[in-house]
Amino acid sequence: MIETQTSHPRFLSIEGGEGAGKSSLIRAIQDQLAAQGHTVTLTREPGGTPVAERIREVLLTGGEEAICDHAELLLMFAARAQHLEHVIRPALARGDYVICDRFIDSSYAYQGAGRGMPLDTIASLERMVVDVVPSLTLLLDLDVKQGTQRARSRPGTPDRIEVEHQAFFERVRQGYRSRADADPERIRVIDASQPMKHVQQDALSVVADWMELPCSA
């Protein structure tokens, strides 16, 4: 069991429902940090290491039998354990900024609020696996129908989670909002229904303020 959990000053995560615009925003943040001379490790969950990417493949494509909710939750945390061990902790130790496309809040939103897994079960897994957490999380909040439309406008077929019904994604959105209400200093809500340029302006301004914090040096 992890004794203490550190909120790291160079660790940033981006969260949101599908089609919220995480990928587009992450590129803008990476450019801003790189332009200031910082080294950035850009990574994602589930995934980020070869083994965790194989777990991602199972989670997003399924397989010969249905993946039950417990297996889904445990696989998310198995991937996260590999990711922390082989990518996140080493990158932070080197002095990099780490930008993570989804992290622990996704498990509370999707497996907790979405699937209905008990939040204290997720909290137990968090205590077992997660010793370092982002000090800033940008939550791209978007109407579910709008997000689905955006996601469906891209080429490719929806994955195992994306085919879920609207009520599931409404619960996910509420799950994220509850997390943000409970931890407003870390989780900053960005209105993702705005044109992309304005979403990026809002987010980059929050990131700039975060980098000014004394402990970010």
Q: Helical H runs in the chain?
A: 22-35, 50-61, 69-83, 89-94, 104-106, 119-129, 144-152, 166-182, 196-212
**CB within 8 Å of 180: residues ≥ 6 apart:** 139, 187, 188, 189
Distance in Å, CB of 93 to ligand Z5A, minimum: 22
Our CB check for ligand Z5A shows the closer of 9 and 46 to be: 46
Nearest-CB residue for ligand Z5A: 21
Of 9, 187, 16, 180, the closest CA to residue 98 belongs to 9
Supply the minimum distance, in Å, between the C-beta of residue 189 and ligand Z5A. Answer: 15
Least Å from the CB of residue 216 to ligand Z5A: 25
The answer to whether residues 134 and 15 touch, using CB atoms and an 8 Å cutoff, is no
Helix (H) or strand (E) run with residue 97 in it: strand 97-101
Angle between helices 69-83 and 50-61 (to 10 degrees): 160
Contact residues for ligand Z5A, defined by CB under 6 A:
16, 18-24, 45-46, 76, 101-102, 106-107, 110-111, 150-151, 153-154, 161-162, 195-196, 199
3-state secondary structure of 188: strand
- In the complex with ligand Z5A, which residue's Cβ is closer, 24 or 95? 24
38 or 150, CB closer to ligand Z5A? 150
Least distance from ligand Z5A to the Cβ atom of residue 212, Å: 26
Of 37 and 193, nearer to ligand Z5A (C-beta) is 193
Smaller CB distance to ligand Z5A: residue 102 or 173?
102
- The nearest distance, CB 185 to ligand Z5A, in angstroms, is 22
Q: 85: which DSSP letter?
A: I
Query: Does residue 141 sit in helix, strand or coil?
Result: strand
Residue placing its CB nearer to ligand Z5A in the complex, 94 or 152: 152
Q: Minimum distance from CB of 102 to ligand Z5A (Å)?
A: 4
Q: For residues 202 and 187, what is the distance between their CA atoms, to the nearest angstrom?
A: 14
